[in-house]
Structure 1
Amino acid sequence: MTHTYEELLEKNRKYLWNPFTQMKTYLADEPLIIASGQGVKVTDARGKEYYDANASVWLNPHGHNRQELNDAIIEQLGQIAHSTLLGSANIPALLLAERLVQITPERLQKVFYSDSGAASVEIGLKMAYQYWNNKGRPEKCTLLTMKNAYHGDTVGAVSVGGIDGFHKTFEKLLFHTEKVSYPYPYRFNGTAEECVQACLTELEQKLIEKADQIAGMIIEPMVQGAGGMIMMPAGFLKQVEALCRKYDVLMLVDEVATGFGRTGKMFACEHDGVQPDIMMVGKKLTGGYLPVAVTLTSDEVYDAFYGEHRERKTFYHGHSYTGNQLGCAVALASLDIYEKDQTVAHVQRMSEAIKPLLQEIETLDHVGEVRQLGLMIGIELVADKASRRMYDWMEARGASVCRRAVDLGLLTRPLDDVVTFMPPLVSTQEELTDMLRILRQAIQEVTEP
């Protein structure tokens, strides 16, 4: 049965509440309703094609309708769609756990499944908390995080976040955390080196004062994504790790956005050679097909929960679809594609190939800065280039640029006045060039009328 666009739009008005969306504004336009996808493009219910330049919210690495991934799900369907991991196991979950341990930092040896990035963060936080309780140090119960951080939308994940626009409304629901500054030289009154040193000094002072109360520090490695595509100076993450070790604090890295090749390494913490105690991954894990996420831990963390029933060390957390066979099967097929297509090397080549195009965009009158690591890119719009004065948030220039890009055949989303560019990792140089041509035109038309 087929439906017209108008029929579908009416169903959207009557029944659906879209996430991260002001519905009054959304429904006042002619919103997109996606019908199909192929490669790096999607097609709407009226037959118009668009580049998927935010990879369906940063999670599609190999393009849409990839035959190997389709086949993996179909093959698994012939066996079983789902059975619980509570008190039993299944074959795809075991095989995927082994594969993930093989490709993640060496310190990480155990895999705990969930169904979203935010859930994987919640699990990591609870593990860090209970770890110290199980070790006889219940006073170490506070989480340390960074200002401007984003780790998901559940209450625990929001508690360790720091973006007022997303989180302030829920302030009274949240548990207490300690926060330190993220090194952002652009907004620091001094050199980049001075900025890094100031942030490290602030972090160490916090640890000197409160390490005996801090269970773990959670951090987005190399890039603060939803905070505006803020790039971390090289070497900073390694020094954070050293301070965590010095003051006996667990290090948790949130690789939900950065993992699986997005930054030009399989995992962003590899840029600084960091070995976290706990790592959270999701999004691209299943090739953008099914909701599976993972929290990986060291054996040291796992062993703190290992004991007799009477010791009450069990980690009481789980999700109904934890370790779902269909999701794990397609994740294994996705990892096969990473190997076969040498996806990470392709990202490295493409990120270098598009640098001249990004530099051209940076010369536009109302672009203050283009920030890039691999194919994780943010284009910051400014009202005045000389002073780098930001637009008034009420103008919603980023949203206006993205709406114009849709008219021109490209989908992406803004982070306030930072336009994100997060294309599928499989994108060719020709496709990336065309996408950036559209994005440049949209920026010019909106900011230079």
Structure 2
Amino acid sequence: MKNRNIVERDLRVVWHPCTQMKDHETLPLIPVRRGEGVWLEDFEGNRYLDAVSSWWVNLFGHANPRINAAVAEQIGQLEHVILAGFTHEPVVRLSERLVQITPAGLDHCFYADNGSSAIEVALKMSYHYWRNSGRPEKTRFINLSNSYHGETLGALAVGDVSLYKETYEPLLLKPFTVPAPDCFDREPGESCAEVARRMFVHMEEALERHAHETCAVIVEPLVQCAGSMRMYDPVYLTLLREACDRHGVHLIADEIAVGFGRTGTLFACEQAGISPDFMCLSKGLTAGYLPLAATLTTGEVYQAFYDDYERMTAFLHSHSFTGNPLGCAAALATLDIFDSEPVLERNRTLAARMTAATAHLADHPHVADVRQTGMILAMEMVRDKTTRAPYPWQERRGLRVYRHALSRGALLRPLGSVVYMMPPYVITEEQIDFLAEVAAEGIDIATGGGGRVG
């Protein structure tokens, strides 16, 4: 079978996510036949190094033998069962382990099947907690500018990336949006920690003004991934935890993209030494194998719903595939790898190689910033390095990088003008060097001329 056959069939019937389908008149789809480790292979034997972990989900490589075996064993025992009134051993074991490894105080797990749904659970649960606690006036949320939390309506509402949100504004609840502590906007000589402390004034003002009507503050700890991989210092989270406690507002940590070792610690919140009231997990939870999400919360929140049925305080929220045994088996196998191998230690070595391999790009005339948090590294292309003036989005400079990378056997999928690497943890140092080389070539091509590219 040839690539063209699959592509022709696809374009007749499939509507792809986050895609202007007309692009595929000139930008060929890549049909993938198989995956192994960091590699994806098409139907004609061409291979592509998966530098973005297939949308940030893959931790330990494609077709990982340990996870394969765990899912295969589970599928022979129980593929799915309703989790209302029933339970099963994989979901109990997974919940026990998540409670054990997440920050202290997160004692109960509520399951969904994707990251956006985990956010919806946290939003509804926070609001419902205050309602059950006699505070029905608390109906609002505070978010950060440039944040992203998913694309179902509730999750979309508490994000702030206009590309995804603007079209649907009439349908959405209205959060209070506070300027993010983005280190990209630091003044000359200012540290990222100083930026975080300076910008926290805006959050403090919002809490002082709106805490009485606010359920929760929601943040992506350390890295705003879909928001062009913008990064900030952990001290902001430390200040935020203290302020939320002082003002009587919940803290929701969206660790969907940054959890499970991406930022250098198992969970990003650890770097600030804090425990949120809600932690949302997905993506790496199953190492990219199956759709599964978990929203963890505290015993205090749980107890606010625990009452006689007639009181109508129960959290009547459900998903058909809540706590799916196959997903739980994949997640347990993923946690087994963290337990039995020095994953975080190895990642520190790989992260250092990523730093070294891309260091020269800091001097590129059209790269404003090379920034990194753990296993996430981003290079931001700009029209003018001195003023940091961006390229017009219509020029689609990142698309030129994407095309070049494919021609060299790599999957790099920039966010606008931001080229980034978020590879599986099984990548080698030599493969990191290759990605850095391809990225540098792509940046040179994308910034070499004026006008529309792509």
Q: TM-score, normalised by structure 1?
A: 0.97
The answer (yes or no) to whether the contact 1:343–1:426 under 8 Å persists in 2 is no
The answer (yes or no) to whether the contact 2:138–2:213 under 8 Å persists in 1 is yes
1:212-223 counterparts in 2 under 5 A?
A: 212-223=212-223
Q: Which amino acid aligns with 1:298?
A: T
Moved more, 128-137 or 332-341: 332-341
1:262-301 counterparts in 2 under 5 A?
A: 262-301=262-301
Partner Cα separation in structure 2 for residue 206 and residue 447 of structure 1: 40
Partner Cα separation in structure 1 for residue 291 and residue 197 of structure 2: 39
The answer (yes or no) to whether the contact 2:396–2:416 under 8 Å persists in 1 is yes
2:48 counterpart residue number:
50
Residue 169 (1) aligns with residue 167 (2): yes
Partner Cα separation in structure 2 for residue 384 and residue 176 of structure 1: 35
1:233 counterpart residue number:
233
1:349-428 counterparts in 2 under 5 A?
A: 349-428=349-428
Deviations 1:267-315 (A, max 9, x none): 0011111110100000011111000010000111111111110111100
2:137 counterpart residue number:
139
Deviations 1:41-61 (A, max 9, x none): 110122100100000000000
| TM-fit CA distance, 1:349 | 1.7
Q: 2:94 aligns with which of 93, 96, 120?
A: 96
1:118 counterpart residue number:
116
Q: Which amino acid aligns with 2:280?
A: M
Partner secondary structure for residue 116 of structure 2: helix
Q: Which amino acid aligns with 1:73?
A: V
Partner secondary structure for residue 19 of structure 2: coil
| TM-fit CA distance, 1:365 | 2.0
2:84 counterpart residue number:
86
Deviations 1:105-136 (A, max 9, x none): 01101000110000000000000000000001
The answer (yes or no) to whether the contact 2:354–2:377 under 8 Å persists in 1 is no
2:452 counterpart residue number:
none
Q: Report percent identity of matched pairs.
A: 39
Deviations 1:44-90 (A, max 9, x none): 12210010000000000000111111111110111110001011111
1:17 counterpart residue number:
15
The answer (yes or no) to whether the contact 2:263–2:374 under 8 Å persists in 1 is yes
Partner Cα separation in structure 2 for residue 188 and residue 438 of structure 1: 29
2:242 counterpart residue number:
242
Partner Cα separation in structure 1 for residue 186 and residue 176 of structure 2: 21
Structure 2 stretches lacking a partner, 5+ long: 450-454
Deviations 1:220-250 (A, max 9, x none): 0011111011111231110011100110000
1:325 counterpart residue number:
325
Partner Cα separation in structure 2 for residue 25 and residue 54 of structure 1: 21
| TM-fit CA distance, 1:210 | 1.1
Partner Cα separation in structure 2 for residue 33 and residue 361 of structure 1: 32
| TM-fit CA distance, 1:354 | 2.4
Partner Cα separation in structure 2 for residue 341 and residue 438 of structure 1: 30
Q: Which amino acid aligns with 2:139?
A: C
The answer (yes or no) to whether the contact 1:180–1:199 under 8 Å persists in 2 is no
1:424-439 counterparts in 2 under 5 A?
A: 424-439=424-439
The answer (yes or no) to whether the contact 2:148–2:158 under 8 Å persists in 1 is yes
Q: CA RMSD in A?
A: 1.3
Q: Which amino acid aligns with 2:26?
A: A
The answer (yes or no) to whether the contact 1:124–1:278 under 8 Å persists in 2 is yes
2:199 counterpart residue number:
199
Partner Cα separation in structure 2 for residue 46 and residue 75 of structure 1: 32
The answer (yes or no) to whether the contact 2:398–2:446 under 8 Å persists in 1 is no
| TM-fit CA distance, 1:189 | 5.7
Q: Which amino acid aligns with 2:448?
A: E
Q: Which amino acid aligns with 2:425?
A: L
The number of equivalent residue pairs is 447
Q: Which amino acid aligns with 1:413?
A: R
Moved more, 407-416 or 348-357: 348-357
Partner Cα separation in structure 2 for residue 144 and residue 96 of structure 1: 31
Q: TM-score, normalised by structure 2?
A: 0.96
